[in-house]
Amino acid sequence: MLLGLSESFPSLVESKFKAAQAAKSLIFSPTELTVIRTTAGLPFQLRYCPSLAKKPTAQKNENPQMKKPDPFDNPPADLLIADVPTTNPTHLLVLNKFPIVLEHFILATKTNKPQTDQLEQDDLEVTYACLKAWENGHAHERSKRLFAFFNSGDHSGASQPHRHLQFLPVERMMNGEETSGWGLLMDQLLVTPQSITKGISDLKQNPKLPFTHFASPLPLDPSGSQLLRTYQDLYKAATTSVNEHARSHPTDFELHSTEDGSLPISYNLAMTTSAMAICPRRREGNILQRDDGSDIGFVALNGTMLAGTLMVKYQEEWDVLRVEPKKLDTLLEAIGIPLGTEDNQGNNRNRL
């Protein structure tokens, strides 16, 4: 699939972002940035953004007859990038109104489809087309890529019910010496020596990560049916791991109701032109604690963790995670399905 844009995709996004920022139609929040590592040595970006602690949080709708505003229904012209594909468009591209990474943008369905339903073939086709168009727009600069992610379900970090995927330019996530030693976690999932079979196809899993995840390499220029099949294989493996964990830990978390067509599990999906990966979730985040057991604050994670990044809003969270790698391990263990059959969460005091 081609997007059908009349100009280079990266140039279009850059010019739209600069114009929206100049018009104050979006609010860019810069972050302090460093690289921390798990005890197994995997690098994660840690971003400190105190301004987001002041951002209004979404409130539950106490009047069910009053519809919440939909940011993807007729978005402001300053934030709209394009309808895609340009012929018979099914999706729209829109800038994130509160980015912490430059040129963070979103792909949303033109009709309001649920975020908690299965992704459809056209969702994946347009996502891949965006990833490919970005690389084609930087044909002589191999490091310039996009990272796509999708949050689905109560425990995934999802914030909007209208179906959408999000994109971060990988080069915009980097910042010289501050990100020295960091690389996209998705790439690490492909080079891991451990392959696993979940009764579907061979999937990749990095044994150094403390949560269950599955990754599959993508062929060069995959068809829409290949993308859909890969997604379905990954989702099936994720669901199997959730069901197995739920049987042995029946009080750990609840599956979602499926009466409205929603999927029963929360998960994050991530995608590059090289791979697709999934992480089933059981919690949106975890309480970060001091060594004496007292609480510092709640740290939430979304699909950007599959890029190898997380964000905090408060100084003490930033300070503690920079000096205590085990705190990162505990956080990652808490939000996903523990690897193996042992009860890894017994040492954590998790809260929903």
236 within domain boundaries: yes
Judging by DSSP bridges, how do beta strands 80-84 and 105-109 pair with one another? Answer: unpaired
By three-state DSSP, how is residue 350 classified? coil
Q: What is the pLDDT of residue 344?
A: 37
Q: What is the pLDDT of residue 1?
A: 78
pLDDT one-digit tens code per residue, 29-48: 999 999 999 999 999 999 99
Confidence band for 51, pLDDT divided at 50, 70 and 90: confident
Domain that holds residue 113: 9-48+75-249+263-347
Task: Report the amino acid identity of residue 144.
Answer: K
pLDDT one-digit tens code per residue, 258-277: 988 899 999 999 999 999 99
pLDDT at residue 345 greater than cutoff 50: no
Q: In CATH, what number is assigned to the domain containing residue 277?
A: 3.30.428.70
180 within domain boundaries: yes
By three-state DSSP, how is residue 342 classified? coil
66 within domain boundaries: no
- What is the Cα 96 distance to its own chain's centre? 14
Between CA 188 and CA 205 the distance in angstroms is 9
Nearest residue to 327 (alpha-carbon basis) of 39, 85, 117: 39
Question: Out of 26-40, 141-155, 156-170, 191-205, which region has the weakest mean confidence (pLDDT)?
Answer: 191-205
Q: What is the pLDDT of residue 68?
A: 79
Q: Which helix (H) or strand (E) holds 298?
A: strand 295-300
3 within domain boundaries: no
pTM of the model: 0.91
- Domains contained in the chain, number: 1
Nearest residue to 108 (alpha-carbon basis) of 161, 61, 145, 55: 161
pLDDT one-digit tens code per residue, 217-256: 999 999 999 999 999 999 999 999 999 999 999 888 888 9
59 within domain boundaries: no
CA dihedral 212, 218, 8, 148 (to 10 degrees): -10
Query: Which residue is associated with the tokens 């739920």?
Result: 246
Q: Phi and psi at residue 171, in whole multiples of 5°?
A: -65, -25
Higher-confidence position of 137 and 66:
137
Higher-confidence position of 313 and 192:
313
258 within domain boundaries: no
By three-state DSSP, how is residue 18 classified? helix
Confidence band for 192, pLDDT divided at 50, 70 and 90: low
69 within domain boundaries: no
Confidence band for 339, pLDDT divided at 50, 70 and 90: confident
